[in-house]
Amino acid sequence: MNPEDKFKTKEQIIWCPGCGNFGILTALPRVLAKMNLNSDQVLAVYGIGCHGHLANYLNTNSVVGLHGRSLPLAMGAKIANQKLTVLAMVGDGDQLAEGTNHLVHAARKNPNITCLIHNNQLYSLTVGQASPTSEKGVKTRSTPAGNYSQPLNPLSLALVSGASFVARAFVGDVPHLVEVLVQAIRHKGFSLVDILQPCVTLNRLNTFSWYRERVYKLEETDYSPDNKVRAFEKTQEWGEKIPLGVFFQQTRPTLEENILPQKDLVLSEQSLRTEIASLLSEFA
């Protein structure tokens, strides 16, 4: 049996043909197999959007949460069971609009989880309204005269909020996507990966060919991801050239190390017995 097959289901895939999410679905079984994980060792927490269908196609423990609320669920699960590899699967409209505050606080608290932003720069599930990452001037169903807002930069936001691992990948290069995701998941702390994932049906600007003409890999230059100021400058690079790879990485204590009374304590394995009378006495 191919080690990747245990992470695949037989559910019918309902994404549009050519959807960028297929690249992520191709990459994740390779990533998890490469890390010698089993399905029961992984928890994927999904938001609302086209990416959320991945819960049906990726064979792991899964939770589908509320719109924009994947990170609090992922953090709670990691605190309850540090043995789990926890992935937050989110969209640009999902995480960077209603869920922006959760991203900021997850980054600063540094839980040992990985956040994968499926970034197609639209609300594609609801047929193509402008999202927080849509290009300025782009015409969509919600901005027929052109989007007047500057796009939100998820890498810059994560970096200034305190994320200890910040990276970007492109679904048009699955081997590189696999490499970046392995590094992100192995990192001890909050990892954010912005995945450029074209919507072939509704986004006629940020296409596969548009990206291929612009992307380059940081690791193929003299760049080193250990300088936060330089990392921030790199996150501002967008347009004629778009960098991929790890922008920033640092080691610092995780949320679990800071709040759990014992190292490696698994709260989900502890006894739930308690004295109700003693709890009620606190309110007397």
Q: Which domains does the chain have, with CATH numbers?
A: 5-281 (3.40.50.970)
* Cα gap 186→188, rounded to integer Å: 6
The reported pLDDT for the residue numbered 79 is 95
Higher pLDDT, 86 or 128: 86
Chain centroid, CA 27 distance in Å: 14
pTM: 0.93
Other C-beta atoms closer than 10 Å to the C-beta of 159 total 22
What confidence tier does 81 reach under pLDDT thresholds 50, 70, 90? very high
Find the DSSP H helices in the chain: 21-34, 54-57, 70-80, 92-93, 100-109, 154-161, 174-186, 208-212, 228-235, 255-259, 276-281
Q: What is the mean pLDDT of the chain?
A: 94
Higher pLDDT, 280 or 179: 179
- Cβ partners under 8 Å of residue 200, min gap 6: 16, 17, 18, 19, 20, 207, 208
* Cα gap 148→145, rounded to integer Å: 9
What confidence tier does 126 reach under pLDDT thresholds 50, 70, 90? confident
DSSP annotation of 66 reads S
Among residues 155, 129, 149, which one has the least CA distance to residue 137?
A: 149
Listed range (72-86, 128-142, 157-171, 209-223) with the worst mean pLDDT: 128-142
* Cα gap 245→169, rounded to integer Å: 6
* Cα gap 144→219, rounded to integer Å: 39
3-state secondary structure of 238: coil
Listed range (85-99, 175-189, 259-273) with the worst mean pLDDT: 259-273
Rounded to 10°, the helix 154-161/100-109 angle is 40
What confidence tier does 125 reach under pLDDT thresholds 50, 70, 90? confident
pLDDT at 226 over 90: yes
pLDDT at 284 over 80: no
pLDDT at 274 over 80: no
* Cα gap 127→24, rounded to integer Å: 21
Q: Are the C-beta atoms of residues 180 and 169 closer than 8 Å to each other?
A: yes
pLDDT at 53 over 90: yes
Other C-beta atoms closer than 10 Å to the C-beta of 188 total 15
Tell me the mean pLDDT in the region 28-35: 98
Per the rule left: phi > 0, alpha: psi between -120 and 50, beta: everything else, 113 is beta
Sign of the CA dihedral running 238, 176, 24, 251: negative
Other C-beta atoms closer than 10 Å to the C-beta of 237 total 12
* Cα gap 197→19, rounded to integer Å: 8
The reported pLDDT for the residue numbered 272 is 74
What confidence tier does 25 reach under pLDDT thresholds 50, 70, 90? very high
